[in-house]
Amino acid sequence: MQDEAKPRDPKATAAAVAELLAAFGNNRVVTSQTVREQHGHTASWHRNQPPEAVVFAQSAEDVQQVVRICAAHRVPVIPFGAGSSLEGQLNAPQGGISIDLHDMNRILAVHAEDLDVVVEPGVTRKQLNDYLRDQGLFFPIDPGADASIGGMAATRASGTNAVRYGTMKDNVIALKAVLASGEIVTTARRAKKSSAGYDLTRLLVGSEGTLGIITEITLRLHGIPEAISAGSCPFPSVEAACNAAILTIQSGIPVARIELLDELQVKASNAYSKLGLPEMPLLCVEFHGSAASVAEQSESFGEIAKELGGGPFEWATRPEDRTRLWQARHDGYWAACGLRPGAQAVPTDVCVPISRLAECVVESQRDVAVSGLIAPIVGHVGDGNFHMQLLVDVDDADEMARAEHLLHRLAERAIAMDGTCTGEHGVGQGKMKYLAAEHGEVALGAMRAIKRALDPDNIMNPGKIIRLD
Amino acid sequence: MQDEAKPRDPKATAAAVAELLAAFGNNRVVTSQTVREQHGHTASWHRNQPPEAVVFAQSAEDVQQVVRICAAHRVPVIPFGAGSSLEGQLNAPQGGISIDLHDMNRILAVHAEDLDVVVEPGVTRKQLNDYLRDQGLFFPIDPGADASIGGMAATRASGTNAVRYGTMKDNVIALKAVLASGEIVTTARRAKKSSAGYDLTRLLVGSEGTLGIITEITLRLHGIPEAISAGSCPFPSVEAACNAAILTIQSGIPVARIELLDELQVKASNAYSKLGLPEMPLLCVEFHGSAASVAEQSESFGEIAKELGGGPFEWATRPEDRTRLWQARHDGYWAACGLRPGAQAVPTDVCVPISRLAECVVESQRDVAVSGLIAPIVGHVGDGNFHMQLLVDVDDADEMARAEHLLHRLAERAIAMDGTCTGEHGVGQGKMKYLAAEHGEVALGAMRAIKRALDPDNIMNPGKIIRLD
């Protein structure tokens, strides 16, 4: 999937590591094989390309010092949050130093009246929501894993709530980040909107550490809804389920979550989470609002579902019923793994205009059938975004070739439908080869020009997103 | 307010104009004083710095050809949409060619299922909404003026609906733009979200023509709400009105518009629009949703208003009552002008965290009182964004000095409150001097590096946003 790991200059790295050891000591600069491998590890099938050392940063000043030392030796730096990225974002194909931001996990300020919070990058979304709950506030972006906020910003993460609350692009108000020069940039102030200059915030969100290392994030918050209802509804076909989602959104129902599970995923989740659902395409939905509004939204959705041949739709407002449903949805990864114990999970995602979603899912299911592989599908169907999780034997070369072919066809299909090769996992190493087809050479040229302008020596997470040579 | 107009090289411009005339003919390349002045004109007090010629483009290919001819001679190009920008964005301080995009006003595709539309830059927001109405769709961003969509994207416009629907940053899905090289960049595909590479869309949104000339925009649409209610409510003080807005948003009421008029603006609007309202700080609100939801939202807001000493709050669902209210709000500019007939209106805007809004408005009102000037205030209070409209005699040097002092203190006050010197008007020429204080030198350095990387000869609307020398 990627080039062999090739450190740029072993002497330069050795010199940088020696300086880092002198600055931080050997408790915070670790070169053991285990720790290095763990920091190159990605929750995917990409081959491990460990960094040459890991530095545990405790402050933005630490990050600045590491970047300055590495910059002086032209040694790559790779930021590490919770390690939950999926496309090789954490690998070190050109060697270099991983900067672990886990210990930078302070919640710096909650501004309840302004509905925002300022956090360090190592804060995880569960930690943040546990902290906020007593104040009646929550941060909605939910990529499934208990990812770090810094990593979520860096990969432009989203998840089940994005249909209502947007993605990280919409929920990051401002960032601080260490640039390749070692300087700290502040991208914006705390005002809810601004027209004052280039949008450096959105440029850094999704840049996967290739333009800067995020050291502080100001996030938009939301009030915990007065009422929440959730439920699931089977449909006779993927088309019917997708059409129900389209109609729900077109009708202006402010659905908070609307998730598709295909037949195979329902089967897997039945087995794993003891759901007892019919093995048919399923939509799981959630509504937020006042008690009256949530009831009205649920009823309106029920009518739409019925109109499209779906049902029965049963909705619940009891927290324990909702928790059970969404726990099952979030356990979808493990449930899918249960379909083929011992196999390697290869998760991928694409996103298409919602009008093309059913077609994209159905064609992909046909592809899976032809391939002979096992690959359930779950989707954030309100956004046209879906995941396919291939279960493969990495030691079987023929099977791996079929898997790669399937991934390739999926990315190309999404792009051909005016969609994207990744809706939320990011590019990392795995999706680099699709960017030319998706964006065209002029856009890639502009991205390269920006990268070179901000990181002339290409030390910030090199070998990710775009190739410079 | 800005440098004297200094064409870079009269010979180069003459050569470029000759080539443009040869390519487009003298119907579409106009050098008359009137047309040139009209294209440098901005709806503000900034001194007119007309371009040396105006080219009327009919297609993206025309724009490419103009940019290529100008690039070859290093002559500036300045895009012109509807001419409603406020901070000197259309002026030609270094000379050059204005590209008028008015005739590029086709609506290219409506994708109702995907809730998006593809338009040329000269389409205006009213034209777009007239076109969409029959399909039950609308485009919410409403900056007051019937601005062009290209101009609204270029200045990151927003307006009264932004509290619910976001700004142009949130509602542009993808752009095509002609870069300084003459190439056309496509920033994204039509998928609702993507994590595939740098966010060139958001980089161009708000770049005011300094990085590229927008030739096509894909916008997010919304279904026209089933029901709408609107009303107005007086408050005993600006603080009480701002606190009502904060509480409304914190309570999760999805208010579609929440606008503040200060006492002076109410007085002006009473006179201009025959409103008969008490001369007290006023909130005008609008709610969108189902009939039941809109009723519930209106009642909840009424309770909040009462709790804060406001009222009576009367809300109406009849379209004619709503239209009358919002017409009066949109006529606020003309109403304010009526406070001092013959004076020059000097509109400005800032945006602060909403918790600081009341303080910012009240301090600014005190400043106005000290200055002896007339300057009513209206605000998109849900976003912490407000406008002050000074009414000045431009021939009175002392008065102009007081006005500039007032503008200066307002921008600095907003920045000191962790806000921005412009929430929605953009930087143009007028706000350039505040960017260092707002963003800091590192961020300005990054903006300059990006500008140089994408426009090495500085031909794209030079002398706006950031100074390169």
The answer to whether A456 faces chain B, any CB pair under 8 Å, is no
User: Does B424 touch chain A if contact means CB atoms closer than 8 Å?
Assistant: yes
DSSP codes, A72-139: HHT--EEEESSS--SSSTT--TT--EEEE-TT---EEEEETTTTEEEE-TT-BHHHHHHHHGGGTEE-
**Which element (helix H / strand E) includes A391?**
strand A385-392
Do the chains contact at B292 and A289, CB–CB below 8 Å? no
Interface test with A, best of B181, B194, B215, B429 (most A CBs within 10 A): B194
Whether A180 has its CB under 8 Å from any CB of chain B: the answer is: no
Q: Where are the domains of chain B?
A: 10-103, 107-223, 227-333, 338-425
The verdict on B294 touching A (C-beta cutoff 8 Å) is: no
For the segment B156-181, the average pLDDT, to the nearest whole number, is: 97
Interface check for A193 against chain B (CB to CB < 8 A): the answer is yes
Options 2.60.260.20, 3.40.50.150, 1.20.120.430, 3.30.70.3450; which CATH number does A227-333 get? 3.30.70.3450
CATH code for residues A107-223: 3.30.465.10
| Burial environment of residue A469 by CB neighbours within 10 A (0 to 12, 13 to 18, 19 or more) | exposed
d(CA B359, CA B243): 11
**What is the amino acid identity at position A430?**
G
Chain B segment 248-277 residues within 8 A of A by beta carbon are: 249-252, 254
Nearest-CA neighbor of A117 among A141, A138, A144? A138
CB contact under 8 Å between A289 and B252, yes or no, is: yes
The answer, for A422 touching chain B at a CB cutoff of 8 Å, is yes
β partners of residue B284 = B232, B259
* CB proximity B162 to A under 8 Å: yes
Task: Give the count of beta carbons closer than 10 Å to the beta carbon of residue B101.
Answer: 28
One pLDDT digit (tens) per residue for chain A, 469 residues: 345 557 788 999 999 999 999 999 999 999 999 999 999 976 678 889 999 999 999 999 999 999 999 999 999 999 999 999 999 999 999 999 999 999 999 999 999 999 999 999 999 999 999 999 999 999 999 998 999 999 999 999 999 999 999 999 999 999 999 999 999 999 999 999 999 999 999 999 999 999 999 999 999 999 999 999 999 999 999 999 999 999 999 899 999 999 999 999 999 999 999 988 999 999 999 999 999 999 999 999 999 999 999 999 988 878 888 888 888 888 999 999 999 999 999 999 999 999 999 999 999 999 999 999 999 999 999 999 999 999 999 899 999 999 999 999 999 999 999 999 999 999 999 999 999 999 999 999 999 999 999 999 999 999 999 998 7
pLDDT per residue over B437-461, tens digit each? 999 999 999 999 999 999 999 999 9
Are the Cβ atoms of B384 and A192 closer than 8 angstroms?
yes
Whether A448 has its CB under 8 Å from any CB of chain B: the answer is no
Return the residue in A85, A194, A202 with the most chain B beta carbons within 10 A, the one to mutate for interface testing: A194
Domains A107-223 and A227-333 share a fold: no
How close, in Å, is residue B332 to chain A by CA atoms? 22
Cβ of A423 and B188 within 8 Å?
no
Q: What is the number of CB-based contacts under 8 A between chain A and chain B?
A: 295
pLDDT at position B328 is: 87
- Measured CA to CA, the distance from residue A5 to residue B38 in angstroms comes to 60
* Smallest Cα distance from B223 to chain A, Å: 6
pLDDT at B355 over 80: yes
In chain B, the percentage of residues whose pLDDT exceeds 70 is 98
Whether residue B196 and residue A225 make contact (CB cut-off 8 A), yes or no, is no
Whether B239 has its CB under 8 Å from any CB of chain A: the answer is: no
pLDDT digits (tens, 9 = 90+) for B60-102: 999 999 999 999 999 999 999 999 999 999 999 999 999 999 9
Using a cut of 0.95, tell me whether the model's pTM lies above it.
yes
**Cβ neighbours of residue B223 closer than 8 Å, sequence gap 6 or more:** A250, A251, A252, B115, B136, B137, B138
Residues A360 and B377: their CA atoms lie apart, in Å, by 51
pLDDT class for B283, splitting at 50, 70, 90?
Answer: very high
Q: Output the CA torsion B407→B409→B413→B415 (10° steps).
A: 70
Q: Measured between CA atoms, how close is B452 to chain A, in angstroms?
A: 8
Q: For B10-103, CATH number?
A: 3.30.43.10
Nearest residue on chain A to B466, alpha-carbon basis: A197
Read off the amino acid at residue A172.
Answer: V
CB atoms within 10 A of CB B388: 26
Give how far A116 is from chain B: nearest CA, Å. 9
Residue A200: which of B185, B443, B454 has the nearest Cβ?
B443
Q: What is the CATH number of domain B338-425?
A: 3.30.70.2740
Question: What pLDDT score does A1 carry?
Answer: 38
Contact call for residues B448 and B177 (beta carbons, < 8 A) = no
Domain A10-102 has CATH 3.30.43.10: yes
Among the partner residues A114, A199, A431, nearest to B196 by beta-carbon distance: A431
Task: Determine the pLDDT at residue B2.
Answer: 43
Taking contacts as CB-CB distances below 8 angstroms, the residues of chain A near B431 are: 196
Q: Which two structure tokens, joined as six digits, stand for B306?
A: 């009462």
Q: What is the reported pLDDT for B243?
A: 95
Quick check: A259 and A329 in contact, CB under 8 A? Answer: yes
Residue of B nearest to A175 (CA): B443
Question: What distance in Å separates residue A193's CA from the closest CA in chain B?
Answer: 6
Write the CATH number of the domain with boundaries A335-432: 3.30.70.2740
Percent of chain B with pLDDT over 90: 90
pLDDT at position B96 is 97
Given CB atoms, is A385 within the 8 Å cutoff of chain B?
yes
**DSSP-derived pairing of the beta strands A227-234 and A344-351:** unpaired
- Minimal Cα–Cα distance from A291 to chain B, Å? 10
Helix, strand, coil shares of chain A as percentages rounded to 5? Answer: 40, 20, 40
- Pairing state of beta strands A97-100 and A53-56? parallel
CB B449 to CB A453 under 8 A? Answer: yes
